[in-house]
Amino acid sequence: MTESESGTTPVESGTENSESGVRELSRRQLLAAGPALALAPGLSTLLLSSEAAGGVAPTDGKIPGYWSPTDPNRPPIDGPKGQDLWRRADKVMPSYAMFLTRSARYAGYNVLPGFIAEAEGCRVKDVDGRSYIDFTCSAGPNLLGYRHPEIEAAARAQANAGDLMPMFSPAMIDFCERLLQWTDGFDWALPLKRGSDATELAMRVARAATGHPHILMFKDSYHGSNREQSLLYEGTPTDALEHLSRLPWNDVAALDDFKSARGKQVAAILMSPLDQPGGNHPTRSASPEFIAAINRFRKRTGAAVILDDVRAGFRLHPKGSHKAMGLVPDMLCLGKALGNGHASAALIGTAALRGGAERILYSSTYLFSAVCCHAAIATLDVYERDNAFATMQRAGERLMAGMQKAANEYDQHLSFSGPATHPTMFYDNDPDSALMERFCHETARRGVLFHPRIWSFMSAAHDDACIDEAIDIIGTSFAAMADK
């Protein structure tokens, strides 16, 4: 079946090494994957090597398609301790794509501080002692505020009794019961450690329950670092990706066509609540027509719907993003914000899929941490008691309004999309994100952290005072950009 016949783009995986049966990354694949990793304009935008910390961009990187910094003369945010840590890190850790989205190099050459030593509330401090109001929230986990006293007290109390112990901890059962109390429509829960654990396990459950092999996802969607979910397929055997397809987001015709052509092979549709390519691309919600097409697909084929709520969870709706979407998923994947910085994740599902889950042998030593379970329980308790969602909504709206006013004043063509609790911002006509890099560098110099290529996050610790302080800094940064 051709691409035009199926309405889908096959998983691009470079060229095949006929001797090893391993797929090698092609330049085309790397560049095509760029938006999906929020690496606009291409994957190589921020794959700076060890020399980059010292101001030299190499030309013979391990990953093809290398791209030079937008401003190689930009003064560093890192002080002496931060720069020394980069030199040490580059001696002992692989760089390039490894840990890329957490690395400050992903933000651009000398744009952000590379090493954070302390965090509390909505503020962080780098190793050189500089303090910042943080709107990255560690890519989502900071939901209620770093080092929230009640969350940390719950974690310490369990740690004093024991964390990783033989057999099951009662905390696991408490955690599962609390999750099922938090949102309705689900019948079982599994405590996990990473969002990638949740999405991978959900795929296995769907395959076991339906007997079908295929997983349908959407272009530019990131669902974890495991082999089938990854957006880069380095060294992947040729037969490992044959049961995956990606369709365009909000494309009802493509979804209906795929249903007719291959729907009976599909075990599950794995989707996020939002389409978030990142970089200089807007965030898009799922249209009502798209949700209706997904429901037609599941009714016709028996495929499960898995909602990956790892990134957006607790920031689109207080009871789960599916409530905001008007979607009833068969499984819900949670992570990031669930433990407010503790390594908590979960998969919750409906009774119809319980049998599939019970046929899977799945275990990992540190899944059974009692401390993380109690941290997550406390997070849910505080989140609901304090109406944290409304606090984040108000803070995000205040920030966006202040930023827009300052942008208009200094003729900065900044666009916003996505929810106020989890906004995407980018400059118009900025294909290599050079303007966003400059903006984020200017704000970081003055004590505010934004990321030029990935989304911002609000926490319940972002009160009016810190929002207003950030708006003042943003205005000063815009003024500096307008003067140059």
Mean pLDDT per block of 10 residues along the chain (484 residues) reads 40 38 36 37 36 37 42 89 91 76 84 96 98 97 98 98 95 98 97 95 97 94 79 63 91 96 95 90 95 97 97 97 97 98 97 96 92 98 98 98 97 95 94 92 98 95 98 98 86
pLDDT of residue 106: 84
| Domain edge (last residue) among 111, 126, 141 | 126
Q: What is the CATH number of the domain that holds 207?
A: 3.40.640.10
Is 132 inside any structural domain?
A: no
Predicted confidence at residue 236, as pLDDT, reads 61
Last residue of a domain, one of 385, 419, 445: 385
325 belongs to a structural domain: yes
Cα 316 to Cα 183: distance, rounded to the nearest angstrom: 14
97 and 206 co-located in one domain: no
Q: Is residue 7 in some structural domain?
A: no
Looking at the fold, whether 248 and 287 belong to one and the same domain comes out as yes
- Domain identity same for 264 and 343: yes
Residue 345 lies in a domain: yes
Element spanning 439, H or E: helix 434-446
Same domain, residue pair 184 and 288:
yes
10 within some domain: no
Residues 174 and 216 in one domain: yes
Regarding whether 248 and 207 lie in a shared domain, the answer is: yes
d(CA 148, CA 16): 50
Closest CA to 403 of 463, 435, 460, 450: 450
pLDDT at 376: 98
Q: What is the CATH number of the domain that holds 445?
A: 3.90.1150.10
Q: Are residues 352 and 414 in the same domain?
A: no
Do 381 and 409 contact (CB within 8 A), yes or no? no
- Do 178 and 311 fall within a single domain? yes
Expressed as residue numbers, the domain containing 73 is: 23-126
In a domain, 144, yes or no: no
d(C-alpha 192, C-alpha 195), whole Å = 8
Alpha helices in 272-422 (DSSP H): 288-301, 321-325, 354-358, 370-385, 388-409
Q: Which of 361, 385, 409 is the last residue of a domain?
A: 385
Q: Are residues 408 and 369 in the same domain?
A: no
Q: Indicate whether 139 belongs to any domain.
A: no
pLDDT of residue 3: 38
Do residues 447 and 336 both lie within one domain?
Answer: no
Q: Are residues 203 and 335 in the same domain?
A: yes
Q: Say yes or no: 193 and 109 in one domain.
A: no
Residue 373 lies in a domain: yes
Domain count of the chain? 3
**pTM confidence score:** 0.87
Q: Are 216 and 270 a contacting pair, CB within 8 Å?
A: yes
- Contact assessment for residue 194 and residue 390, using Cβ atoms and an 8 Å cutoff: no
- Give the strand order in the sheet containing 244-247: 188-192, 345-349, 331-334, 304-308, 266-271, 214-218, 244-247
